[in-house]
Amino acid sequence: MIVEMQRNATQSQVDAVIERAQGYGFEVQLNRGTDKVVIAILGSDTGHVPTANFEVLPGVGSVTRIMRPYKLASREFRSEPTEIRVGDVTIGGPRVVVMAGPCSIESWEQLDATARHVIGAGASILRGGAFKPRSSPFSFQGMGFEGAALLRQAGQALKAPVVSEVTDSHFVERMAQEVDILQIGARNMQNYTLLRAVGETNKPCLLKRGLAATVTEWLQAADYVLAAGTAQVILCERGIRSFEDSTRFTLDISAVPVIKRQSHLPVIVDPSHAAGHYALVPGLARAAIAAGADGLLIEVHPDPANALSDGLQSLTFSDFARLMVECRQIAEAIGRTL
């Protein structure tokens, strides 16, 4: 951390900064310029201390962070990429992993038909929503644990791991018995009780980026999950909020190479929620793989026009099959498989 004192700062103000830094156990080096004093506070744990703890002291001009405020998720903590195994599937390895299925689980028939189709077409993990956080209290809210049980059954029938969102810390234990990967949704990225509860299970966690979260805050949220014990976090970019309104969210495709530089965790992309419209999904899915994403999360429905949620962004079976062919070609063009 670098503390720049104001021009007219007194020696006792400088001393107060040094004392606080040393109180945290940090090393301090003083730079006296012609204009002002600049204090370098060094140590591998400075990332854990808010800059405001120094900005609040009298005589301080500005404070700048050098260490990033996350640690366990960083490349500096672990230089090798993390690979996460779920059943026979490895996420973060050379193979691009496709997770696909319906937005909401609506019935055994709908789920089973979709599951057979997506696994048959090349997806390796089955997704399906049991608990649906909906922006209107009057919308369909999901089948709950009953849906989760159907998902487990559908996955077992096809020997495919399953992933589903958990929306409340008190559901975590029971959901962990039904699914192979626990998903934390964008709206819960900073629900710290939930992050900890998921991190305490022995299940991998799929952590979606909050729609207003910076990459740094996202990795801090990953730190919460990792600090709770697990080593298995998969990051999922799903679009951020910007002023652009021709898409539901703005897919931050740059987050993929940025994450690859800053973190050892695998990162996948959800083009369905980012775009909000099925016609844009294939272009974004191909782009994600070309940018280096380790996988995709895609919504598919047997009859999107009659889906109970998010039909507009769901692919039909034939659209999905076509997309798998395109994605496989992109994966091979960059030396990966799918």
Residues between 69 and 128 with contacts to a copy of itself, criterion CB under 8 A: 69, 76
* Residue 55 binds to a copy of itself (criterion: CB under 8 A): yes
Pairing status of strand 205-208 against strand 233-237: parallel
Distance of alpha carbon 165 from alpha carbon 270, whole angstroms: 14
Looking at residue 217, its amino acid is E
Could you tell me the smallest distance in angstroms from the CB atom of residue 169 to a copy of itself? 7
- Regarding 231 and contact with a copy of itself (CB under 8 A), the answer is no
Choosing from 235, 251, 323, 338, the residue that interacts with a copy of itself (CB under 8 A) is 251
Tell which one of 312, 321, 322, 336 touches a copy of itself (CB under 8 A): 312
CA distances from 222 to 16, 118, 184, 196, 318 (A): 34, 29, 11, 10, 36
**Stretch near a copy of itself under the rule CB under 8 A, chosen from 100-108, 157-165, 176-184, 299-307:** 299-307
Binds a copy of itself (CB under 8 A): choice among 10, 19, 50, 108: 50
Buried b (16+ CB within 10 A) or exposed e, 136-153: eeeeebbbeeebbbbbbe
**From 153, 291, 321, 322, residue interacting with a copy of itself (rule: CB under 8 A):** 291
Using the rule CB under 8 A, is 22 a contact of a copy of itself? no
Rounded to a whole number of angstroms, the minimum distance from the CB of residue 179 to a copy of itself is 19
Nearest distance, CB of residue 173 and a copy of itself, angstroms: 13
Q: Pick one of 98, 179, 207, 284: the residue that binds a copy of itself (CB under 8 A).
A: 284
Q: Which of residues 165-224 bind a copy of itself (CB under 8 A)?
A: 167-170, 187-188, 190-193, 196, 210-212, 214-217, 220-221, 223-224
Told to check if 304 binds a copy of itself by CB under 8 A, we report yes
Beta-carbon contacts of 165 under 8 Å, excluding residues fewer than 6 positions away, are: 129, 130, 131, 132, 133, 183, 184, 185
Residue from 290, 319, 321, 336 touching a copy of itself (CB under 8 A): that is 290
Shortest approach of a copy of itself to residue 129 CB, angstroms? 14
How many Å apart are CA 175 and CA 239, to the nearest integer? 26
Which of 96, 95, 89, 100 lies closest to 320, judged by CA? Answer: 100
Which span (82-90, 92-100, 122-130, 250-258) binds a copy of itself, by CB under 8 A? 250-258
Query: Which of residues 89 and 284 has its CB atom nearest to a copy of itself in the complex?
Result: 284
Which residues, 254 to 273, sit near a copy of itself by CB under 8 A? 254-258, 260-262
The answer to whether 35 and 7 have CB atoms below 8 angstroms apart is yes
d(CA 98, CA 179): 17
Q: Write out the binding residues for a copy of itself, residues 124-163 only, by CB under 8 A.
A: 133-139, 141
Q: Which residues contact 51 (CB under 8 A, 6 or more apart)?
A: 1, 63, 64, 65
Shortest reach from residue 248's CB to a copy of itself, in Å: 9
Query: CB within 8 A of 4, min separation 6: which ones?
Result: 36, 37, 38, 39, 60, 61, 62, 63, 64
Question: At 337, phi and psi to the nearest 5?
Answer: -120, 175
**93 vs 276, beta carbon nearer a copy of itself:** 276
C-beta of 163 vs 221, nearer to a copy of itself: 221
**Residue 310 per-residue DSSP state:** -
305 binds a copy of itself per the rule CB under 8 A: yes
Judged by CB under 8 A, the residue of 66, 120, 177, 337 near a copy of itself is: 66
